[in-house]
Amino acid sequence: MPTELFQALFSNLWSIFLIVLFFGGSIFVHELGHFLAARRRGVHVTRFSIGFGPKILSWKGRDGVEYRLSWLPLGGYVALPQLADMRGIEGESDVPPEHLAPVSYSTKIVVFAAGATFNILFAFLLATIIWFVGQPTTSDQATTQIGYVVPTLTIEDTEVISPAAQAGLQVGDIVRAIDGTRVDDWQELQQTLVTSAGRTEEGRRRNVFTVERDGQVLDIVVYPRLAGDEKIRRVGIVPAWQMIVHAAPEGSAGAAIGLRAGDRIVALDDTNILGGDTYVAHLTAHADRPIAMHITRDGQPLTLTVPPRKDVERPGDLGVQFTTESRLVYPNPFRQFAGHIHMTFRTLASLINPHSDIGISKLSGPVGIIRIFHLAAQADIRIVLWFTILVNINLAIFNLLPIPVLDGGHMLFATIARLRGRALPPSFIMATQSVFMVLLFSMILYVTVFDVRRIVRDAAPPAAEQSDK
C-alpha cells in the first residue's frame, strides 16, 4: 500500500510539473513574444502578467516593469498602454496612455503578431524534437482499416441499425477519404467525420466514405447519427488492430488450447480477425462446434483448436489478455504542422457552419486542456509534446482572429485607424474591449461547465457497478 501511494503521489506531482512546464510555458512563450518585440521596438511596457485578475505575487524589475503572477490562469498579458488602452481589463498604468508618444502602425503589427509568432516557433521546436525521438502510436490508431462494423447504435435509449451496417461498410474496408478529404489514420478519420457538415436537401446528415475493398475503390454514402455522451456524428465502425497475446494465465481456456504470450491471432476458421470485436463475435456465434484458430508464433504459422463452448457463460472469452503493436513514427515538423493546422481550421469552420453538429460546448477550455495534459503525462511525455504543439498552434491561430481583446482585434483596430487617417475614439475601443472580454470569459465559463461534466462522467463507475451499490 505505501508503494502504491508513493507511485500515485509521484504520478500526480509529475503531471503537475508537466502541466506547469508545457501549458504554463505556452502562455509564457506567447506573452514573451509580445514583451521582447515591444522592448525591441522601443514601446513602453508597464506589466508582464501570467494570468488575469488579482495578483498572487509580483515584483518590480530594474527595467521598471512589474512582473506578476495572477489568480485566473486563463492566459496572460503584457500591458502596453502606447498600443492599446486596456485599463478597464489590465488595471491602471503607471503612465497614462495620453502622456506617451504614439507609435507607428508597423510597430503595432509587429508587437501584436509577436505572441502568435513565438507560439509557432515554440511548436516548431517541439515538433523537431518529436521528429528525432519519435511519436508513439498503436496499430489501431495508425490505420484506417475497419476492424468491426457495430450492428446497432443506441440513440436516446433506442437501439437502431448502425449507419455503417445500413450503408454496407464491411470489415476489412480501408477508408481513404470522407467527403473527398483524405484520412491517413484513425484519429484523422474521427475528426473529419465529427467536424463534417454534409447533409441532404432534406437536412439529413450525409457523408461519402471512399473505401478500398479487394483492390477496388468505392464511394459509399453513409447517413451518420448523433450518438454517445457528446452527441457527435457516429456511424458505428471500430478500427482494425493486431491481436497479440499478452498473457495466457495458467488454468485459462486459452492456455488449455496452447496459446502463449506473443502469439498473434490471424483468423478463426476462414474469418480474418482484425480486432477483439470480430474475435469475440466469431467465438460466440460458433460456440457449438470446434473452431480452428490460426496464429503466428515467432513468425511461423500455427493452427490451434478451440473446443465447443456452448455451455460456457461467456463463450467469447478464453481468459486471455491481449495487447497490440506499438511503435514510433517520425513525422517531420512540416507534416505535423499541416495536420494540426488543417484540423484547427476544420473545427473553426464547423463552429460557424449551420449544417455542422459542432457547437461551443464541444470545445475544451483551460480545465479540459489541463485534464488532457494530465492524462498525457501519465501515458508518455512524447504525447505531452504532441499535445503542446497542438495547443500552441491553436493559441496562435485563435489569437490572430480579428476579435476585440485578442491580438487580431488589436491589429484590426490599428488597421482601421490607419485607413481612416486618425485613431479610433478611446471610449469606443475601451467599451468594445470590455464587452468582448465579458463575452470571452462567459464563453470560457460555459465551456468549463461541460469540461467538468466530462470529468465527472468519466470518473463515474459503470452503470452496472453503480446499481450494485
Do residues 255 and 248 make contact, with C-beta atoms less than 8 angstroms apart? yes
Q: What is the DSSP letter of 99?
A: G
Q: What's the whole-number average pLDDT of the chain?
A: 90
CA angle 225/229/234 to nearest 5° reads 25
**Which range has the worst mean pLDDT, 222-236, 364-378, 451-465?**
451-465
Do residues 142 and 324 make contact, with C-beta atoms less than 8 angstroms apart? no
* Of the ranges 32-46, 71-85, 98-112, the best mean pLDDT one: 32-46
* Architecture of the domain spanning 244-323: Roll (2.30)
Res. 459 pLDDT band, cuts 50 70 90: confident
The per-residue pLDDT for 70 is: 85
**Which range has the worst mean pLDDT, 4-18, 69-83, 271-285?**
4-18
List Cβ neighbours of 45 (8 Å cut-off, separation of 6 or more): 35, 38, 39, 63, 65, 78, 79, 80
Residue 60, amino acid:
K
Structure confidence by residue, pLDDT tens digits, 313-343: 899 999 999 999 999 999 999 999 999 999 8
- Torsion over CA: 363, 369, 374, 378 (sign): positive
Structure confidence by residue, pLDDT tens digits, 219-275: 999 999 999 888 999 999 999 999 999 999 999 999 999 999 999 999 999 999 999
The per-residue pLDDT for 424 is: 87
The per-residue pLDDT for 71 is: 79
List Cβ neighbours of 78 (8 Å cut-off, separation of 6 or more): 31, 34, 35, 38, 45, 47, 48, 49
Res. 52 pLDDT band, cuts 50 70 90: confident
**Residue ranges covered by each domain of the chain:** 15-134+385-459, 244-323
Burial (CB < 10 A; 0-12, 13-18, 19+), residue 376, is: buried
DSSP H helices in 234-316: 253-257, 276-285
How far apart (Å, rounded) are the C-alpha atoms in residues 300 and 247? 19
The per-residue pLDDT for 7 is: 61
Work out the angle between the directed axes of helices 381-399 and 25-40 (0-180°, nearest 10): 50
Count CB atoms within 10 A of the CB of residue 38.
25
Work out the angle between the directed axes of helices 186-194 and 333-352 (0-180°, nearest 10): 20
Burial (CB < 10 A; 0-12, 13-18, 19+), residue 63, is: exposed
How far apart (Å, rounded) are the C-alpha atoms in residues 386 and 329? 12
- Torsion over CA: 73, 78, 83, 88 (sign): positive
List Cβ neighbours of 430 (8 Å cut-off, separation of 6 or more): 85, 86, 87, 88
> Regarding predicted confidence, which is higher, 125 or 78?
125
How far apart (Å, rounded) are the C-alpha atoms in residues 303 and 309? 18
Structure confidence by residue, pLDDT tens digits, 378-431: 889 999 999 999 999 999 999 999 998 899 999 999 999 999 998 888 888 888
pTM beyond 0.85: the answer is yes
Structure confidence by residue, pLDDT tens digits, 160-206: 999 999 999 999 999 999 999 999 999 999 999 999 999 999 999 99
- 157-164 CB contacts, 8 Å cutoff, 24+ apart: 160/225, 162/235, 162/236, 163/222, 163/223, 163/224, 163/225, 163/234, 163/235, 163/236, 164/222, 164/235, 164/236, 164/237
The per-residue pLDDT for 466 is: 36
Res. 464 pLDDT band, cuts 50 70 90: very low
Do residues 173 and 265 make contact, with C-beta atoms less than 8 angstroms apart? no
